[in-house]
A and B are shown apart, each in its own frame.
Chain A
Amino acid sequence: MCDKELENEIVSIIKDILSEKGKKINIDKDYLNKSIYEDGLGLDSMSTAVLSVKLEEKFGFDPYSEGEFPRTINELIGFYKKVKK
């Protein structure tokens, strides 16, 4: 999976979770570096729990279970890139 595919997968998972809460990602030039939580894109704790499950389903493991707490989509991409290497 190349970096762009990885980004698309992660964005798509977050979009789905937010859309179930009736929220949309505002795709501006800086959204990859915005906080994914309530101070940014809008994931609350329950949605973050869902994110961890969906990431585990997609990639076989998730950063939260590994003790990490990525703040942005870019940090999430970074986590999977790092593990891939």
Chain B
Amino acid sequence: MILHYLSLLEDNHVLVKDYKMSYYKKDIIINLSEFLSYLPKKLDKIYVLLKNSYELIIAIFAANYIGADVCVLNYNYTKEEINKIIEELGEGFFITDKDKSELIKQSEKITIEYGNFFNKKLGYSIIDLNKKDSNLIIMTTGTTGSPKAVMYNWDRLVNQVKKNTDKNLSWLLVYPLNHFAGIQVLLYSLVNQGTINIPRSNSFLDLYDSINNGVNAISATPTFWRMLIGYFKKMDITNLNIRRITLGGEIVHQDLIDNIKKVFPNSSIVHVYATTELGSCFSVKDEKEGFPISYLQRKVGNVELKIIDGELYLKTDKHMLKYLNSNIKLSIVNDWIATGDLVEVRGDRVYFLGRKNEVINVGGIKVFPAKVEKEILEVDGVKNVRVHAKKNPIMGNVVCADLEIEENIDMNKVINDIKNKCAHKLNKYEQPVVLRVVGRIDRLNEKIIRRS
């Protein structure tokens, strides 16, 4: 199905762009056919560990062509992590630009191919774009625990991509392609005949260069957006033309939507409810935090929603097929899946409070980190915050906040402002007892790490 959409593109359509060059459909077909000439005709599973996102896209196409399952690995995994995954998921053909010795324990069962497939250009080949039924294997980010391998069927994933009338969207690839959200950007661009822009790196200057070079759509986490907006505030960016912004992966607060809108007034801002396990379930387009209560009363793009005991439940067919390395199953009762996300209805809107397992118990009172984070993030000078529990002999736990503060700013003033805001807006159990300024809050794939 992926290759079907590839075949629908015009020969001169640029599907991928990096800081050096544009890759037209015809280049992609050439590179793909060359790549295939290095691969055995029949493979069950391919592991891909490549730094270059364009090569990774070709490898994904190739796996689809052969009908092999493809496991896209995080390039930063250690040797130990890779070996653990192979042990859990079983043998497969390995495609990497890394040296074998730094990668994998000696094993007769694993075939390793490495080297650069993309140096030579061969002639144009017509590839038979047969439909094959293969799977994507992707690891969860692991912000709340150790990464789990998740399996999706490619055809189902592609079928779920929303057809957009807004063609010519040129997406900045912020997420790596080993991330579910990165795969979504790839599939969205393929199905809707858009372009994927691979930045040289995720440094702000390189991102700026990419955006300045024709990007008009960006999908990223709220954590990423707060940093980018903070950076762009100090620059003249009137030349940048962003018309589509997607937020996902973390709770989206109103102040962030408003701040993005100030910087990119011509953009439409959409936040999506998507997880690696559940897929991309629904989106909110009215540029307000939370979602309309009407979503509880009707199907939202084939997904049904309801709230039980403050937790969001979904009825959806968009979820993964299964976990491969864990006995844990999605908790599905009568087709309804408990999401683990706690929500609250206020007026005609449903607001996210945080993950069920992140709730901090302060003397028997439930404190939602996201609520505290929202108040702190609204204070001038705060770039990022992570609220977490600190064990306490009296209350069981107290609330702690790690802060990233803007440079060249009066730290004591920011701390006092936070204290005052929290004293006015939060009850005494919710107010952080410890405010700690740190250089950088740990994050994975631009999401704040939640596990402690």
Contacts and interface: CB of A to CB of B under 8 A. Distances in A.
Interface of A: 20, 45-46, 48-50, 52-53, 57, 62, 64-65
A65 B395 CA distance: 11
30 contacts: A45-B363, A45-B394, A45-B395, A46-B362, A46-B363, A46-B395, A46-B428, A46-B429, A48-B394, A49-B362, A49-B392, A49-B393, A49-B394, A49-B395, A49-B398, A50-B398, A50-B433, A52-B392, A52-B393, A52-B394, A53-B390, A53-B392, A53-B398, A53-B433, A53-B434, A57-B434, A62-B393, A64-B393, A64-B394, A65-B393
Nearest to A67: B393
A52 B394 CA distance: 8
Contacts of B39: none
A79 to B, nearest CB: 13
Contacts of A45: 363, 394-395
B250 to A, nearest CB: 27
Contact of B433 (A49, A62, A64): A49
Contacts of A49: 362-363, 392-395, 398, 433
Interface in B400-451: 423, 428-429, 433-434
| Centre residue among A46, A48, A57, A64 by max chain B CB count within 10 A | A46
B361 to A, nearest CB: 12
Interface string B242-273: 00000000000000000000000000000000
A57 to B, nearest CB: 8
Nearest to B392: A49
Contacts of B395: 45-46, 49
A67 B111 CA distance: 58
Interface hub of B363, B392, B393 (most chain A Cβ within 10 A): B393
A33 B353 CA distance: 44
Do most interface residues of chain A lie in helix, strand or loop, or is the interface mixed?
A: helix
A64 B423 CA distance: 25
Nearest to A66: B393
A14 to B, nearest CB: 15
Nearest to B396: A49
Contacts of B362: 46, 49
Given A53-B390, A57-B434, 5 more contacts: A46-B428, A49-B398, A50-B398, A53-B392, A53-B434
B393 to A, nearest CB: 4
A62 B394 CA distance: 11
A50 B390 CA distance: 11
Contacts of A48: 394
A20 B423 contact: yes
A82 B122 CA distance: 82
A46 B393 CA distance: 11
Contacts of B429: 46
A65 B428 CA distance: 21
A70 B409 CA distance: 40
A65 B393 CA distance: 5
Contacts of A62: 393
A49 B398 CA distance: 7
Most chain B CB atoms below 10 A, which of A20, A45, A49, A52: A49
Nearest to A64: B393
Interface string B338-376: 000000000000000000000000110000000000000
Contacts of A52: 392-394
A57 B400 CA distance: 13
A64 B398 CA distance: 14
B427 to A, nearest CB: 9
Nearest to B423: A20
Most B CB atoms within 10 A — which of A48, A53, A64? Answer: A53
Contacts of B394: 45, 48-49, 52, 64
A62 B390 CA distance: 14
Contacts of B393: 49, 52, 62, 64-65
The 4 closest A-B pairs by CB, nearest first: A64-B393, A49-B394, A49-B395, A65-B393
Contacts of A53: 390, 392, 398, 433-434
A60 to B, nearest CB: 15
A53 B394 CA distance: 10
A49 B7 CA distance: 64
Nearest to B398: A49
B353 to A, nearest CB: 21
A68 to B, nearest CB: 10
Nearest to A62: B393
Contacts of B390: 53
Nearest to A46: B428
A41 to B, nearest CB: 16
A43 to B, nearest CB: 10
